Amino acid sequence: MGNLFSFQARLVWQSVREGKEWWWAGLGVVDLGVYGFAATLQPDAHFGRILAAYGGVFVAGSLGWGMIFDGFRPGRWDITGSVICLLGVAVIMFAPRSAG
């Protein structure tokens, strides 16, 4: 699901910035609403942790999305920032925690 939000945002972007039909943005908005329910299906009961980890994956996924679909070429600082975000995801998701 790392790139799902990128897809939704792209639909809205294309409607507003690139002159696609209004319903194109509507598809993005509806899809984002449906996505809002996806977090409830995650096995971890701590929504903040899931959302924070998703944010890091979103950063890296957005750069990948731009590379694949828009021909974007990230610079070294884009890549460095993305790696830092993914390291943060690893800390958030896999750091040892007490049972209490």
How do residues 23-44 score in pLDDT, each as one tens digit?
A: 888 888 887 777 777 767 777 6
Q: What is the mean pLDDT of residues 51-72?
A: 84
Residues 6 or more apart whose Cβ sits within 8 Å of residue 58: 2, 5, 6
pLDDT-derived band at 90 (thresholds 50, 70, 90) equals: very high
Going by the DSSP 8-state scheme, the letter that residue 40 receives in this structure is G
Quote the pLDDT of residue 8: 76
First to last CA, the chain: 30
Residue 5 pLDDT > 70, yes or no? no
pLDDT-derived band at 83 (thresholds 50, 70, 90) equals: very high
- Judge if pTM exceeds 0.75: no
Cα torsion through 10, 35, 2, 78, rounded to 10: 50
